[in-house]
Structure 1
Amino acid sequence: MIYPTRRTILITAGSAPAAFLLGVFAPGYWFVGLVFLGFLIALLVLDAALGAAGRDMAPIVSGPMSAAVGRELALTVSVRAARAPPRWCEAALDSHYLLAAPQGLRTRIVLHGGEGETTIPLVPLRRGTARLETVWLRWQGPLGLVWKQRRLSLGEEIVIVPDIRALRERSADFSHRDMLHGLTARMQIGEGAEFEALAEFQQGMDRRSIDWKQSARHRRLLAKEYRTERNNNVIIALDSGRTMCEPLAGLPRIDRAVGAALLTAFVALKDGDRVSLFAFDSHPRVSSKPVSGARAFTLLQRLAAGIEYSERETNYTLALATLTTGLNRRSLLVIFTEFSDTISAELMLQAVGTLLKRHLVLFVLLRDEELEGLAAAAPETPEAVTKAVTAAALLRERRLVVGRLRRLGVHVIEAAHDQAGPALLNAYLGVKQRNLL
């Protein structure tokens, strides 16, 4: 495609008044305007012929084909000119609803020796597969009078997966078995409730571990040694309903929850526990059987990446009833959710009450920093007063529900979106050390 540049349009627009004045004051020279127009057309044809043709310009788009949601990635656009390279050109990519371009999708590339490249930063907004269909490339002729444009099909896909940056950054700590509990190997043997062996009592051991009957039989003090339980069931339930899909600090809440859930799942698998993933909104959507071993983390990551964004209301009664079906032993249920009103919270409380009779329930709630900021800000206008009162009422209802959950015996974690993962991990390790399972 060839079309005029801004310079050509300005020249043409400027010559029209001159031709009009020439026709008014010197009618005998009216043909000068036609001569100038023909000369301009000849320059346009010459400019189009001298510059690089469309087949001579080859754009190449490269970059990571997988990215974590919320983490910036950079696509590299490189251009190579086979003949008559221009000094510079412009490249543009088509947009996709899963990707945001902070600096725009169009960039300028300076060519040196017929080659040049630049980067376009992109930020994934949601999980899924973003397909880049088209790249446009345009450049000017030597005289700068015409644009030449080439359109190429890309067909490149960028798979957007959950963000596990925290897991990668701290993988060296998690890979060390002693770091999972924060205790030494000697203390791990002495903790827990599962009997390991009898050993001779030594100074510094807990006197409550002395087995008096065996000590009397062997005529020396013997103490029981315990080991930390393994193979516990850890079920991570993710609410993917309408409220959890609302944005929090630029990303949906569900994506924040998925990152924290995968961090804890990785540690639990490394520690020998069995982990399963469950996602629900109005109906159960994702359900996996309990898996064990570090190799099973890939399966959980793939299932978490497939959790869809829903616009439906959450049905806690159906979801939690389905979740506990087939659970024959006491398990740790980690539930990521959010409630926007007392009615939905009341249904949630009724459903959770039945779980506490047999299982240990841990709720993870993400603090709404925007709502807290509205409630704490000094109101200066009537609109600000309304926002502050509404935000304070919502926070008050939230605190009432959290208080009722804790009185029922539910462990509740309230943390900022960037601290939810470490907070949940610490709570999980605390449950293991206190033998609550």
Structure 2
Amino acid sequence: MIYPTRRAIYLLLLGAPMALGLGLIRPELWLVAPGWIGVVFACLILDTIAGANPRHLKLDARFPQQVGVGDPFDLSLVASAATLPLRAEIALALDERLAEGGRLADDMRRTGESLVRTLSLTASRRGQARVEALWIRWAGPLGLVWKQRRFPVDGAIQIVPSLRAVTEEGSRLFQRNSWFGLRQQRFRGEGSEYEALAEYQPGMDRRAIDWNASARHVKLLAKEYRVERDNRVVLAIDGGRTMAEPVGGMPRVDRAVSAALLLAYVGLKLNDRISFFSFAAKPQTLTPAYMHTQDFPALQRAASLIDYAHVESNFTLALTTLSTQLNRRSLIILFTEFTDATSADLMIRAAGRLVKKHRLLFVVIKDEEVEAEERRRPASGADVTRANVAAAMLRDRQLVIARLQRLGADVIEVPADAMGASAVEAYLGIKRAGSL
């Protein structure tokens, strides 16, 4: 496609006042105006013929077939032809998961015998993102015409839960805790699973002394314990309306899925039985309990199916259903969000019934936006109102946390970027204490 630039239109419009002025001053020179328009049209034709031809242009677009949500990736564009301009403008039509508004504009510059551009993109939500088409245009040598061509791309990128935290943060955390849980090691005063009797040594916990055995053997003997293995761990993810809201440019549910995958990786390494459970208005997924690292792809596929929902979460139905599916005491790590004490009342009641049989750990993201609003120095009456509302919301939030803790549940409130690492540390702390 070839069409005039703004410069060409202005030059053509300049002929009208020129013809009017000459008609008033020197009527015999009226032919200058048509001559001017003819010169402009001749320049347009010359500009069209000269330079690169868009029909000879070839495009090579490269991008990964699968990326993790929140992970940056490169979309590489290379355009080649016998004759190329020094610079070209580009516009991409793509999914809103990759660019706000579904459109991205940039430019390409000539490098050697090609026009090259590498765009750094980040997927904001899970699902299938399509890269539909690319438009390339450049101005002719005289700057009077735009030469443009549309290239259909019709490519798809599968956006799945991010494994970056698993491969990077998970390996680091596991190496740091590699002394713990890899094999049956003896921990003095830790764990609850009895292993053997050993002669008491200075530094051992005196509460571990077995006085009956010591009397029989006429020497001090102490019980040695090790941390339990083969525990059932359920990673429950709330996919309701509050979890679909973004925090730090990524929905809460995606952050929860990434943190749950990191927990699953560490749990499988420690030979625990890991399963996923998701719910919104009703229970959605409950996977079998996996205990081998080669089962991690199955957990990843299950995490990919956790969808976004814009309905209120039904904690009563979800947690009751989960309780009926568990036939032994388990650690349930629940990733959720609550805003006030009234809406969280049903969740607290359901958690109170669940915590009587199971160990329950709530993982919630700190509402840093509300905290910043509460701390911000007010400059007007509206700022004072916002600060008071924010303070009331934070008080309700702490009230919910206090009520859950009184029931016997554990609650950790973590920054969004440290959700995975904090959840793993809490999980390892529970294992060390042997309180499952």
The TM-score normalised by the length of structure 1 is 0.91
1:105 and 1:120 in contact (8 A); partners too: no
One-letter amino acid of the counterpart of residue 290, structure 1: A
1:246-278 deviation digits (Å, cap 9, x = unpaired): 122222111222222222221111100011111
1:158 aligns with 2:140: no
- Tell whether 2:5 aligns with 1:8: no
Q: Offset at 1:155?
A: 1.5
Q: Whole-Å Cα distance in 2 between the matches of residues 51 and 304 of structure 1?
A: 52
Matched residue type, 2:141? P
How far the C-alpha of 1:18 sits from its partner, in A, is: 1.2
Distance 1:187 1:352, change over 3 A: same
Shift of 1:225: 3.8
Q: Which moved more, 1:225-234 or 1:61-70?
A: 61-70
Q: Which residue of 1 aligns with 2:22?
A: 22
How far is 1:216 from its partner? 6.1
**Inter-partner Cα distance in structure 2 for 1:214 and 1:180:** 30
Alignment partner of 1:137 is 2:108: no
Report Cα offsets for 1:38-64 as digits up to 9, x if no partner. Answer: 232222222222332222111222233
User: Per-residue deviation at 1:177?
Assistant: 8.6
Q: Aligned partners of 2:220 and 2:380: how far apart in 1?
A: 76
State the one-letter code of the partner of 1:312.
Answer: V
What corresponds to 1:126 in structure 2? 125
Identity %: 47
Q: Deviations over 1:24-82 (max 9, x none)?
A: 32222323322332232222222222332222111222233333323333322211122
For 1:340 and 1:220, locate their aligned partners in 2 and report how far apart those are by CA, in whole Å.
59
* Cα distance in 1, alignment partners of residues 399 and 416 from structure 2: 21
1:70 and 2:65 correspond: no
- Structure 1 CA distance for aligned equivalents of residues 396 and 363 of structure 2: 17
Aligned residue for 1:339, secondary structure, equals coil
SS in 2 for 1:28: helix
Q: Which residue of 2 aligns with 1:433?
A: 432
Q: Which moved more, 1:398-407 or 1:246-255?
A: 246-255
Whole-Å separation in 2 of the counterparts to 1:187 and 1:12: 90
Distance 1:112 1:377, change over 3 A: closer
User: 1:98 matched to which residue of 2?
Assistant: 97
Decide whether the 8 Å contact of 2:77 with 2:116 is kept in 1. Answer: yes
Structure 1 match to 2:312: 313
User: For the aligned residues, what is the CA RMSD?
Assistant: 2.6
Query: How far off its partner does 1:431 sit?
Result: 0.9
Q: Which amino acid aligns with 1:67?
A: V
2:19, 2:71 → 1: CA distance? Answer: 57
1:42 aligns to what SS in structure 2? helix
The one-letter code of the counterpart of 2:296 is F
Kept in 1: contact 2:237–2:336 (CA 8 A)? yes
Q: Tell me, in whole angstroms, the C-alpha distance in 1 between the residues paired with 2:65 and 2:356.
A: 47
SS where residue 230 of structure 1 aligns? coil
Instruction: Tell me the CA shift for residue 405 of structure 1.
Output: 0.8
Distance in 1, Cα, partners of 2:254 & 2:86: 44
CA gap of 1:148–1:180, structure 2 versus 1, over 3 A, is farther
1:108-161 superposed Cα distances (whole Å, 9 cap, x missing partner): 222244313122232322122211010111122233221111111111222223
Partner SS state of residue 262, structure 2 = helix
Q: C-alpha distance in 2, partners of 1:232/1:107?
A: 53
**Structure 2 contact 57–79 (Cα < 8 Å) conserved:** yes
CA distance in 2, matches of 1:349, 1:178: 33
Q: 1:282 touches 1:315 (CA, 8 Å); kept in 2?
A: yes
Asked if the contact 2:98/2:121 (under 8 Å) is kept, the reply is yes
* Structure 1 contact 126–251 (Cα < 8 Å) conserved: yes
Measure the CA separation in 1 of the matches of 2:248 and 2:86: 42
The one-letter amino acid paired with 2:287 is: S
Rounded to whole Å, the distance in 2 between the matches of 1:87 and 1:375 is 52
Q: 1:404 to 1:112 in 2, by over 3 A?
A: closer
Q: Verify: 1:271 aligned to 2:236, yes or no.
A: no
Distance change in 2, residues 1:113/1:216 (3 Å): closer
Question: Which stretches in structure 1 are left out of the alignment for 5+ residues?
Answer: none
- Unaligned 5+ runs, structure 2: none
Helix, strand or coil for the counterpart of 2:435? Answer: coil
Query: Is the contact made by 1:174 and 1:180 (CA closer than 8 Å) also made in structure 2?
Result: no
Counterpart in 2 of 1:281?
280
Partner residue, 1:260: 259
Residue 220 of structure 2 is aligned to residue 226 of structure 1: no
Residue 351 of structure 2 corresponds to which residue in structure 1?
352
Distance in 1, Cα, partners of 2:176 & 2:71: 29
Tell me what 2:375 maps to: 376
Give the match for residue 361 of structure 2: 362
Question: What is the one-letter code of the residue matched to 1:120?
Answer: L
CA distance change for structure 1 residues 403 and 174 in 2, over 3 Å: closer, same or farther? closer
Contact 2:186 2:226 in 1 (8 A): no
Q: Distance in 2 between matches of 1:17 and 1:180?
A: 86
Q: Secondary structure at the match of 2:233?
A: strand
Cα distance in 1 for residues equivalent to 2:160 and 2:154: 19
What does residue 421 of structure 1 align with?
Answer: 420
Name the aligned partner's letter for residue 30 of structure 2: W
Question: For residues 209 and 384 of structure 1, what CA distance do their matches in structure 2 show?
Answer: 59
* CA apart distance, 1:212: 5.4
Identify the residue that residue 387 of structure 2 maps to in structure 1.
Answer: 388
1:280 CA drift (Å):
0.9
Which residue number in structure 2 is paired with residue 47 of structure 1? 47
